[in-house]
Amino acid sequence: MAKPVVAVVGRPNVGKSTLFNKIAGSRISIVEDTPGVTRDRIYADCEWVGKQFTLIDTGGIEPYSSDIILLQMRRQAQLAIDTADVIVLLVDGREGMTASDLEVANMIRKSNRPVVLAVNKIENKDIEKNIYEFYNLGIGDPMAISAEQGLGLGDFLDRIVESFDSSLVSQEEDTRLKIAVLGKPNAGKSSIVNRLLGEDRVIVSEVAGTTRDAIDSTFKYFGEEYVLIDTAGLRRKSKIYDDIERYSIVRAVAAVDRADVCMIVIDANTGISEQDAKIAGIAHNRGKASIIVVNKWDIYEKDQGSVKKFEKDIRNTLSFMPYAPIIFISALTGQRVNKIMETVLLVSNEYSKRVTTGTLNEVIGEAVLMNQPPSDKGRRLKIYYATQGAVKPPTFIIFVNDKGLLHFSYERFLENQIRNAFGFVGTPIRLIAREKKDKS
């Protein structure tokens, strides 16, 4: 089951980013974040009273006139409505209710999403009375908070997690393999999905994804049933918002959570970009199996060595996921599209693969002999034994004398040795060090 998505919306300067950073940084534990992939942290996986959720910050608007403010507010509110399970409308208690607040509230009211109305910048009792005018927004009881000082955030978070029960319907565990199709707009995601569904396939059903504005298409491949999660929004004909980067990241977060395998689609004509790295980084950091599909290869101007050069560019930009196989296709002509499902099933099997403890320790033992563990101030790292603790992604627990001695570079060396021995194509590997006291 995917984590609920909580989106914080509001006009500029009401304190959205302050609230986001306060919650993600101190009030609740960050389960996972995405370092090194994006400069702007716009989402964090969080937990409050045992309930996990993904918090989205829709801030970062720099308007130049009142008209642009209203335009941007409509776009941000629509983003939240499309993507979130719970919407937080943040307003400024010092300034009072504005036309922009009412504009956003009117859009949110039309949705079926639970809404938490938070009145920010209420630092003392003297201005707490300012919250009452926000009843005029007509979206529920306003809550007084101060994001900067952390006042009222406990009750505020309680209200959010209480809203999950009304926004999320429990579903039976779906054992079908789910494939998320990720990528920038116009990379050809929808064309790939249509090609996979239309070429000697039987479409069992096609329904809109629950609250994600994604299309779930169920199809059969050699008798087995699979689900494609298309994040392109096949049913939305209108032009996507100007704030494309933020919108696609938000969508990718929701789709990746539901997926087993992620298909990262890159437009051959525009090449690999920082935005592709951000999207791929979500799949990597959330521990999902992945393949990289370079689309529109039929119209790419090729010369000798084009494939190797393109692969090198991808590996340089996506240096954090060297394990992901790369396929060059054309959804338009069908060129090598048959390789997609072959590769998806390959990495899916690797994602679920287990290795025996005895064989694993033989590989670790040979690795230690090949490259002595690091030492610090005369104390050397000792590796006692290792075992595989989980799959999806493959997770290995390594028992050592001192976790502090296991440097990142040696951890990467051990991961490479495990890959050399067992493959694990297309899937990230997790190494967890645990201390075991030396009896001697």
Sequence ranges of the binding site for GTP: 10-17, 57-61, 120-123, 183-190, 230-234, 295-298
Task: Yes or no: say if 143 and 132 are a contact pair by the CB < 8 Å rule.
Answer: no
Q: How far apart are CA 2 and CA 341, in angstroms?
A: 24
Q: How far apart are CA 373 and CA 14, in angstroms?
A: 52
What are 16's two structure tokens? Answer: 């959205």
Q: At what angle do helices 408-422 and 357-370 cross, to 10 degrees?
A: 130
Over the range 48-76, which residues count as b (16 or more CB within 10 Å of their CB) and which as e? beebbbbbbbbbebeeeeeeebbbbbbbb
Q: How far apart are CA 346 and CA 205, in angstroms?
A: 25
Annotated binding site: 10-17, 57-61, 120-123, 183-190, 230-234, 295-298
Q: What is the DSSP letter of 427?
A: -
What are 214's two structure tokens? Answer: 């994604």
Residues 6+ apart with CB under 8 A from 64: none
Task: Yes or no: say if 268 and 328 are a contact pair by the CB < 8 Å rule.
Answer: yes
